[in-house]
């Protein structure tokens, strides 16, 4: 069986997002990593007039680089999540609650709050784009690994053929008395 996740329909993802957004505060106190996270290098958030790179993102929230004194636990933040690739740019306004501050790593983790349907749609577009970029990068890495393996095999066979050729020439030279 393949390690690839089964594709979810857009409607299923949208319904899951709606259910996740309606969880109670008590449920949010559980392990905050309930959603599949994906690293991204093509996203940033604009908060309080400043732009910060997004480290990773999920259906439930995001983690972004920020000065350690920027936000505190429980703070409500409002901003715009931006994703840009070669194909498009998506901007999604959001409200979130800070649930993690890592002063040593300079990151802030936040959980999305009360996203309306249009913002959930935008988030799904962004997550799909992040996933597509991840899969394209993984595919490129696999092709590069396959190419390196083929070159290594070819190099080995060329070395063997060269040695056989040299042995054949040496044997011929001995046979003709050169």
The model's pLDDT over 129-145, given as tens digits with 9 standing for 90+, comes to 888 888 888 888 899 99
Tell me the whole-structure pTM to 2 decimals: 0.60
CATH at 70: 2.40.10.220
Nearest 10 degrees: Cα torsion 163, 168, 172, 175: 100
Place of tokens 């936000």: 71
The whole-angstrom separation of Cα 16 and Cα 33 is 15
Q: Give tens-digit pLDDT for 93-114.
A: 999 999 988 878 788 899 999 8
DSSP state of 162: H
pLDDT of residue 17: 52
C-beta of residue 112 within 8 angstroms of C-beta of residue 61: yes
The length of the chain is 178
154 pLDDT above the threshold of 80: yes
For residue 51, tell me if it sits in a domain. yes
Structure tokens at 103: 């002063």
- Considering the domain boundaries, does residue 165 fall inside one? no
Task: Give first-to-last CA distance, the chain, whole Å.
Answer: 62
Instruction: Please report whether residue 129 resides in a domain.
Output: yes
Pure H helices in the chain: 10-21, 25-28, 117-176
pLDDT tier, 16 (very low <50, low <70, confident <90, very high otherwise): low
> Is 119 among the domain residues?
yes
How many other CB atoms sit within 10 Å of the CB of residue 110?
27
Report how far Cα 28 is from the mean position of its chain's Cα atoms: 24
Domain-embedded: residue 172: no
Q: How many domains does the chain have?
A: 1
Residues of the domain holding 70: 10-139
Mean pLDDT of the region 7-31? 48
């Amino acid at each position: 069986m393949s390690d690839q996740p089964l594709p979810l329909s857009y409607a299923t993802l949208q319904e899951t997002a709606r259910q996740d957004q309606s969880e109670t505060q008590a449920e949010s106190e559980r392990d905050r990593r309930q959603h599949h996270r994906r690293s991204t290098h093509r996203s940033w958030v604009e908060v309080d007039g400043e732009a910060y790179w997004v480290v990773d993102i999920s259906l439930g929230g995001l983690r972004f680089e920020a000065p350690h004194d920027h936000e505190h636990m429980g703070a409500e933040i409002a901003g715009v999540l931006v994703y840009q690739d070669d194909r498009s740019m998506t901007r999604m306004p959001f409200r979130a609650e800070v649930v993690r501050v890592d002063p040593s790593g300079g990151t802030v983790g936040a959980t999305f709050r009360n996203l309306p349907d249009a913002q959930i749609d935008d988030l799904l577009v962004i997550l799909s784009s992040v996933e597509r970029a991840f899969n394209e990068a993984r595919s490129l890495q696999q092709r590069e690994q396959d190419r390196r393996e083929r070159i290594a095999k070819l190099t080995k066979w060329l070395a063997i053929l060269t040695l056989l050729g040299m042995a054949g020439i040496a044997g011929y030279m001995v046979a003709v008395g050169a």
